[in-house]
Chain A
Amino acid sequence: MPKSGQSVVDIQDLGFAYGDAEVLHGLTMAIGPREVFAIVGPNAAGKTTLLRCVERLLTPKTGTILIDGRDLKTLSARDVSRRAASVPQSHTPAFPYTVQDIVLMGRNPHLGTASQPGPHDVAVAQEAMDELGIRAIALRPYTQLSGGQLQLVLLARALAQEAQVLLLDEPTAHLDFRNRHVVLSTIRDLAVRLGLTVIMTVHDPNDAMQYADRVGLVSDGILIALGTPDEVLTAENLGRLYGMLIEVLTDGNRRVIVAGTPS
């Protein structure tokens, strides 16, 4: 684990509860620069809650979250959004904005209350669209896009925020097989090329196996394992996590997680 001096996101003893229902207990983890970190766990394990605490959409009950060494509690909404950009799991469009309008909204953290996006903001938005190869659809209504394209548009909006940390809540939840890999390899590529820190929740451990640098296994709001995919995503750990028989098949350097068959 990187020391807190090198880490970009530093989560210490994080606890969260909805009323009396405790969702997260004593989570501690540190995520470094250029790292793709996957949070893996079954439904209702607290993955999304953890991410929403880092986005500061939820206020933790205990513990602290540091981004770039700054306590999240001491930052304004604007400051948080300049440091961490997020892509929501689902998005309900209200109006048929163009793709460019949507990406431009990512510039909001850099704009004053009474100001509007200027030429520089448009340039940053176009760069973000180029980065994700969606410049050609810039003037199309975003309500007419496929799920994969919409995900890339929301990713471009997050890039336009020019934040160092990218938070993704199940980025592939509504995507088909091809788009799932397009989106995940794009995310991986962005982390390496732009030096971003990516934290994402995934529900298929294979996504973490293939695309993450490190993995945190979360079960009932507790971090039960933390490390590289090879260390953490073992048949034993996953079997315990999901309460089922699991096999990890190896083919050369690649590992694939499948449901086990009782012999």
Chain B
Amino acid sequence: MKRGRFAPVLLLMWLGVLAVLLASLCLGRYPVSPQTVVRVLISRFVPIARTWDATVETVVWQVRLPRALAAALVGAALASGGAVFQGLFHNPLVSPYVLGVSSGAGFGAAFAILLGASAAVTQVSAFATGALAVSLTWLVARSGRDRSHVTLVLAGFVIGSLFSSLVAGAQYVADPSTRLPQIVFWLMGSLASVQWSDLLRASVVILPCLVAITVLRWKLNVLSMGDDEARSLGENPGMMRLVLIGLTTMTTAVSVAISGVIGWVGLVVPHVARGIVGPDARRLIPASIALGAVYMMLIDDVARTLTMAEIPLGILTGIVGAPVFALLLRRSRSDWD
């Protein structure tokens, strides 16, 4: 059985997550050695002699750790969301962006920022409009005579554009000296201001959703056979799809609320994961979660260390993602035909 060989691969991926996490805590304008980082972390739980000054403690524990963990969380959420959508719509080229979830959540968050709302309200608002967007997409697609998945994808584009326009409207009316730069910078994606409280608020939603997606992942295989065959195999595709879209909408909306609109992760990471562990969702979902975490932490490291100023994450994932995706398209097309 090939299945036996997956455990070491997944273990290796999680060791990669830990290694990149450690590297993220060392790297930056204020370099800290790995030994010191490990000792700072240990000192939070076990009383040991402090041989470092307070600045190191603040940089590692208050600034870099929550930020790196948030990057890992967002990466895992966006990558698994892409893998789920690709299975649901049996299309290797879709992601939550396609159904307008991200644009919808982006509008809700931008609107909350415009009103100067708290971070918690921003998160709730992002989820509400993300869910509204995906529901509208669903309604528009259902109202058509042709109920194929292509119709759904097209409806997603329509609703996505609608919410993008609304975001532009929010920017237009925003105070150019205070709110506008905040919205613009947030929209391009950034984890610069993440604190422990933000991380906690995001993880109480994202982690249970990731667990639920992992538990249900075998059904993605069945759903990827198409609705008729899934039904013949005893599945209720409409219901199962609703549950999985709901879970993915929550993880995507919360990611957007904490980090802004970051594209490509949900397309690139599942493709790389598929190349390593194959298309079986039983392996693909855990692999996408681990690789998504690694990818996003690396991107965020580059964003904060490459130049003197922070580079928006959305720009980096776009620059890395588009060519990688084009290459993957070329290489794996033969597998889909």
Which A residues are closer than 8 A to B by beta carbons? Answer: 55-57, 77-82, 85-86, 88, 91-98, 100-101, 105-106, 108-109, 111, 113-117, 122, 139, 141, 143, 161
Contact of B279 among A96, A100, A109, A116 (CB under 8 A): A96
User: Chain A contacts of B335 at CB under 8 A?
Assistant: 95-96, 141, 143
* B91 A101 Cβ-Cβ under 8 A: no
User: Chain A contacts of B219 at CB under 8 A?
Assistant: 113
Distance in angstroms between the alpha carbons of A87 and B5 in the assembled complex: 31
* B234 A81 Cβ-Cβ under 8 A: yes
Residues A88 and B236 in contact in the complex (CB < 8 Å), given A94-B91, A101-B280? no
* B235 A77 Cβ-Cβ under 8 A: yes
Residues A88 and B228 in contact in the complex (CB < 8 Å), given A94-B336, A114-B215? yes
* B274 A95 Cβ-Cβ under 8 A: yes
* B229 A91 Cβ-Cβ under 8 A: yes
User: Chain B contacts of A113 at CB under 8 A?
Assistant: 216, 219
B233's nearest neighbour on chain A, judged by CB, is A108
User: Chain A contacts of B39 at CB under 8 A?
Assistant: none
Q: List residues 286-337 of chain B with CB under 8 A from any CB of chain A.
A: 335-337
User: Chain A contacts of B221 at CB under 8 A?
Assistant: 97, 101, 105
Distance in angstroms between the alpha carbons of A141 and B332 in the assembled complex: 13
Question: Taking the complex as formed, is B142 at the interface, i.e. its CB lies under 8 A from any CB of chain A?
Answer: no
User: Chain A contacts of B215 at CB under 8 A?
Assistant: 114
27 contacts between A and B (CB under 8 A): A55-B231, A56-B231, A57-B231, A77-B235, A77-B236, A78-B234, A79-B234, A81-B233, A86-B232, A88-B228, A91-B225, A92-B90, A94-B225, A94-B336, A95-B274, A95-B335, A96-B278, A97-B221, A105-B221, A105-B225, A108-B233, A109-B234, A111-B218, A113-B219, A122-B1, A143-B335, A161-B234
B237's nearest neighbour on chain A, judged by CB, is A77
User: Chain B contacts of A91 at CB under 8 A?
Assistant: 225, 229
User: Chain A contacts of B279 at CB under 8 A?
Assistant: 95-97, 101
A85's nearest neighbour on chain B, judged by CB, is B232
* B232 A95 Cβ-Cβ under 8 A: no
The 6 closest A-B pairs by CB, nearest first: A81-B234, A94-B90, A109-B234, A95-B279, A78-B234, A96-B335
User: Chain A contacts of B225 at CB under 8 A?
Assistant: 91, 94, 105
User: Chain B contacts of A143 at CB under 8 A?
Assistant: 335-337
* Given contact pairs A81-B231, A143-B335, a sample of 7 additional A-B residue pairs in the complex whose CB atoms are under 8 Å apart: A77-B236, A94-B92, A97-B279, A101-B221, A109-B233, A114-B215, A141-B335
User: Chain A contacts of B228 at CB under 8 A?
Assistant: 57, 88
* A81 B336 Cβ-Cβ under 8 A: no
Question: Taking the complex as formed, is B16 at the interface, i.e. its CB lies under 8 A from any CB of chain A?
Answer: no
Residues A98 and B278 in contact in the complex (CB < 8 Å), given A57-B231, A105-B222, A114-B215? yes
Distance in angstroms between the alpha carbons of A78 and B278 in the assembled complex: 28
Distance in angstroms between the alpha carbons of A95 and B91 in the assembled complex: 8
Residues A106 and B226 in contact in the complex (CB < 8 Å), given A98-B278, A114-B216? no
Q: How many A-B residue pairs have CB under 8 A?
A: 86
Question: Taking the complex as formed, is B102 at the interface, i.e. its CB lies under 8 A from any CB of chain A?
Answer: no
Contact of A108 among B224, B235, B278, B280 (CB under 8 A): B235
User: Chain B contacts of A114 at CB under 8 A?
Assistant: 215-216
* A88 B229 Cβ-Cβ under 8 A: yes
B278's nearest neighbour on chain A, judged by CB, is A98
* B234 A77 Cβ-Cβ under 8 A: yes
* B233 A105 Cβ-Cβ under 8 A: yes
B331 to chain A minimum Cβ distance, whole angstroms, is 12
* B222 A77 Cβ-Cβ under 8 A: no
Distance in angstroms between the alpha carbons of A79 and B235 in the assembled complex: 10
Question: Taking the complex as formed, is B64 at the interface, i.e. its CB lies under 8 A from any CB of chain A?
Answer: no
User: Chain A contacts of B67 at CB under 8 A?
Assistant: none
User: Chain B contacts of A96 at CB under 8 A?
Assistant: 278-279, 335-336
A109's nearest neighbour on chain B, judged by CB, is B234
Distance in angstroms between the alpha carbons of A91 and B232 in the assembled complex: 13
* B224 A94 Cβ-Cβ under 8 A: yes
B92 to chain A minimum Cβ distance, whole angstroms, is 7
Question: Taking the complex as formed, is B2 at the interface, i.e. its CB lies under 8 A from any CB of chain A?
Answer: yes
B212's nearest neighbour on chain A, judged by CB, is A114
Distance in angstroms between the alpha carbons of A195 and B336 in the assembled complex: 37
User: Chain B contacts of A95 at CB under 8 A?
Assistant: 87, 90, 92, 224, 274, 279, 335-336
B282 to chain A minimum Cβ distance, whole angstroms, is 6
Contact of B233 among A93, A115, A116, A161 (CB under 8 A): A161
* B222 A108 Cβ-Cβ under 8 A: yes
Distance in angstroms between the alpha carbons of A81 and B91 in the assembled complex: 25
B95 to chain A minimum Cβ distance, whole angstroms, is 15
